[in-house]
Structures are given as C-alpha cells and as structure tokens.
Structure 1
C-alpha cells in the first residue's frame, strides 16, 4: 500500500490517496494532449484506493469516451488543474494525473499508448513498450509496470 499526497496548481485543493500502484503510462492521444496542453498526458493507476480530500473540493465533469464508457474527470474549480479520473466501468481503479503529486521524482512510465498520435518531434524511448492506439485490454500495461525495476515504481 502506497500513500501519495498531491494538489492543484493554485494550492486550494490538496489530496491524499492510498492504494496499490497498478500502472504508470503516458498517453499521446489528442484528448490527453488537449487536457494537458502538452505533448502527452500521464496516468498513474491505483487499485483498491482510498482518496481523501485534505483541503478544498473538486469539481467534475463526465467525459463520454468513443468506446461508450464514462469517465468522471476531477479538477480544481479555482485553477482548473486536472487531478484524477475515475472510469465508471472500472471502479477498483483511480487514475491520478501524476504531475499533481508532491513527489514526482520516481515517475517513469512503463508504457506509451496512442503513439500513432505522438508529436513527431518527441523521441519515444525504445526500451519502453508502445502501442499505436488504445489497448483492447490493459493487462499488458499492468504487466509492464510489474516488470519495471523497483526504482521506477516508487
């Protein structure tokens, strides 16, 4: 069980989450590029998690995916920082936006997805698995995280 603290950019919202880190991956889809306002987004999945808001309240909106699933996206109502996502189809997982963590020094994605949408100027590591789109099954990403060296898993 890992305990992680984080918060939004303006500092009005603080959270603590505990759970088993199940995966950390980078996503290069256009949606992640848009919501991160960068070349890619990252997702840190925690299994069997417990989330506590230490300060402030999150706002949320429901994103309907092209595959027909619904993801609740939580963000700071003051500064708009994305903090975490919860896919209603997988209630045992919470997806944290890992850049919102207080300690990001240990973050090393175990895989990259939607590499077909990756920015052409961004070299992807050759020693990390990559998928051209969304995986049909995330089991391979979970296994890649488990196979990552301990130094990459926090």
Structure 2
C-alpha cells in the first residue's frame, strides 16, 4: 500500500491516525495519538544522517504504530553514548522515516517532515545545541541541552 504525503491533522482528533511517508511515497507508517515529545537534535551524527543542519523528530510509543507499509532498509550505528541507533529508510529515495534506539527500545522517533503537516507540534527541546548552527533559532521556551 502506498501512503500519500498529506497532513494528518490528528491533533484535531486524538484517536485519529497520522501518516508519515518517505519522499517517493513507497515506504510509510501510521500512528495514533499525540507524540510524547518533539525535539531537534544538532549533533554531528544527525546532521550527517539527515544532510541538514539538524534532525527534527517526534517520539511515539511503539504500540501507537498501527501499520508500516513498503520496503525499507535499516542502518545501525553506535551513538555518542556507545549504544546502537537504527535509521530506517526507503531504499528508493533514501528518506529516513524513523529511528529506533537501544536507550528507549519501546519508542519510535519519527522524522517530523515525513508527516508533511505544517501544523505539527513545535519542538519542546533541542539537543546538542553546542553543535547548533548559529543562524538557527527555536522559540525561547524550547529547552536547550548542550550535549547528551
């Protein structure tokens, strides 16, 4: 099944499903409910993996995932703390749709851009701000963590 990159607007209905998909639409997933946390990460690993100045992800418990559709690949690396991190991506377009980690095995970290929803929740925390590009700014209410 191909998921369409359209805004989920699940925040209007807490039990509604949100869909997230890769750039080409051949790999995606659906989750229900609101994310437990939305954050940006500015560590060098996230910058390199995303090809951007930072990663922006939303935490969901794995039981909130109602389906995963399409072919995907996994790349596992060691994080700065020595624990594994898995990037799950589309083999066709290369989009990282979600990340899993050894530290929180019952949590899935979904790339916010894959929801294609401009009204998605604002990040409440920024990690590795010691590596943050000086031109980037989040709201002053965002909790800032220099390293992790």
TM-score with structure 1 length normalisation? 0.77
Q: Distance between the aligned counterparts of 1:80 and 1:119, measured in 2?
A: 24
CA RMSD of aligned residues (A): 1.8
**Partner residue of 1:36 out of 22, 39, 50:** 50
Gaps of 5+ in 1: 135-154
The Cα of 1:51 is off from its aligned counterpart by 4.5
The Cα of 1:31 is off from its aligned counterpart by 1.3
**Partner residue of 1:11 out of 8, 13, 25:** 25
Structure 2 residue 128 is the aligned partner of structure 1 residue 123: no
Question: Does the 8 Å contact 1:20/1:49 carry over to 2?
Answer: no
Instruction: For residue 141 of structure 2, give the secondary structure of its aligned residue in structure 1.
Output: coil
Relative distance call for 1:89 and 1:130 in structure 2 (3 A) is: closer
Instruction: For residue 57 of structure 2, give the secondary structure of its aligned residue in structure 1.
Output: strand
Aligned residue in 2 for 1:50: 65
Aligned residue in 2 for 1:79: 93
The Cα of 1:108 is off from its aligned counterpart by 0.6
The Cα of 1:124 is off from its aligned counterpart by 3.6
- Please identify, of 100-109 and 25-34, the stretch whose mean Cα deviation from structure 2 is larger: 100-109
The Cα of 1:133 is off from its aligned counterpart by 0.9
Q: Distance between the aligned counterparts of 1:34 and 1:73, measured in 2?
A: 12
Question: Does the 8 Å contact 1:49/1:93 carry over to 2?
Answer: no
